[in-house]
Chains A and B, each alone.
Chain A
Amino acid sequence: MPTPLKAFACGARDTLPMLLGALPFGIIFGTLAIASGLSMPATLLMSALVFAGSAQFIAVSLVASGAGLLVILVTTLIVNLRHMLYSASMLPYVRDLPQRWKVPLAFWLTDETFAVVHRHYLDASAPTEHKHWYFLGSCIAMYSNWFACTLIGALLGSSLPGMAGWGLDFAMVATFIGIVVPLLRTRPMLLSAVVAGAVALAAHALPYKLGLMLAALAGVCAGVLAERWGAESGKLTGGVDEPV
């Protein structure tokens, strides 16, 4: 019979591959944040309190480009909206837990932990007890890794002040490409990306980074419309399975 501690350790162990993926991401975030003009405490506090990689990356690049607070917060909202899908998927498994469990598990719900833990909840061969401890193990592994990597990156960034001119912001571009390209497996996804990219270029001169919002909205609409249109014409069933 598994103990809570064992379930916790299993959750942390199964998250290990995700930790490796987040490692460079966290270090680069730390250096980039310092290079963008964020102070050391603010950089660390952002990783400790926000704990959302893509949103943090985008926020520091917006800070560097002189964007206002409201723009950054609205962008954070849009970029993190996907987490609502995750919490909706996890809800059946956590809704009977007390709030003292729900609050921390929600705070630590990231893309990586969702991927690992949701699979575990669906796995009929896994023991049914203490699955929330497994969830917690995955969370703590991701969180401590993210904070440690941010710290390393921030220390690197502040000991090498010339780093701002190194073009490290390319690391963000490379990371985002590495995330997006594998997702472009259906025609609607591809169209969504093409439309978002084109609108972002065309609307780049708009103030307050409005071009980014406009492009994201256009991309989402293009994807949904393409999916519907494809489903209606019978070429695509649901638009999710057919590879390009």
Chain B
Amino acid sequence: MSLFEIALIGGMALITFGIRYGLFAVGHRVRFNPLVSRALTYVPVAVLTAIIVPAMLMPGDGGMQLSWHNAYLVGGLAAIVIAALSRNLLATIFGSMLLFFLWRWLLA
């Protein structure tokens, strides 16, 4: 393992454990400021969407690829439709990946 990997994993482990254990360690009943707890509920959606959208529209760190030749865009749109209709994680992953690979194979 490289030094980078050790620092990466050590750092991520400490941060994650710190977040999970912090309140358990203090041990008193905690009441979050309502604003803070409302804000925290938006974090997963905001972070994940901020990753999803550029990955679909700008794959491979190129520029914007608003075209049906972009399999990431086509597969991502399919995933959105499947997820909205089925609300099933496995169906979303497998259905959209199937289309993604099929699309790449058809375009190749």
Contacts and interface: CB of A to CB of B under 8 A. Distances in A.
A and B form one complex: yes
Given A177-B80, A196-B45, A200-B50, A80 B19 contact: yes
A87 B46 contact: no
Which of B16, B35, B87, B101 has the most chain A CB atoms closer than 10 A to its own CB?
B16
A174 B71 CA distance: 12
A215 interface: yes
Contacts of A227: 38
Contacts of A58: 51
A192 interface: yes
Contacts of A204: 54, 58
Determine the interface band of chain A, counting residues with CB < 8 A from chain B.
Answer: 35 or more
User: Does more than half of chain B's interface fall in helix, strand or loop, or is it mixed?
Assistant: helix
Interface residues on B, range: 35 or more
Interface in A168-186: 169-184
B92 A50 contact: no
Nearest to B38: A224
A178 B82 CA distance: 8
Contact of A193 (B8, B49, B94): B49
Contact of B12 (A76, A180, A192, A196): A76
Contact of B49 (A41, A61, A81, A196): A196
A76 B11 CA distance: 9
A167 interface: yes
Nearest to A58: B51
Contact of B23 (A46, A82, A91, A181): A91
A142 interface: no
A84 to B, nearest CB: 5
Given A46-B12, A201-B58, A224 B39 contact: yes
Interface string A199-235: 1110010000001100111111001100100000000
Contacts of A85: 32, 37, 40-41
B50 to A, nearest CB: 4
Given A73-B11, A107-B21, A227-B38, A50 B16 contact: yes
B8 A63 contact: yes
B36 to A, nearest CB: 9
Given A42-B5, A91-B30, A106-B24, A177 B12 contact: no
A175 B89 contact: yes
A49 interface: yes
> Can you list the 4 inter-chain pairs with the closest CB atoms, starting with the nearest?
A219-B46, A178-B92, A215-B50, A181-B83
Interface of B: 1-2, 4-5, 7-13, 15-17, 19-25, 27-30, 32, 35, 37-58, 61, 64, 71-72, 75-76, 79-80, 83-84, 87-90, 92-94, 96-97, 100-101, 104
17 contacts: A39-B5, A45-B1, A83-B16, A84-B23, A91-B24, A102-B25, A167-B100, A172-B51, A173-B56, A174-B92, A174-B93, A177-B79, A178-B79, A200-B49, A217-B46, A220-B42, A223-B39
Interface of A: 20-21, 24, 38-39, 41-42, 45-46, 49-52, 54-56, 58-59, 61, 63, 65, 69, 72-73, 75-88, 90-92, 94-95, 102-103, 105-107, 109, 167, 169-184, 188-189, 192-193, 195-201, 204, 211-212, 215-220, 223-224, 227
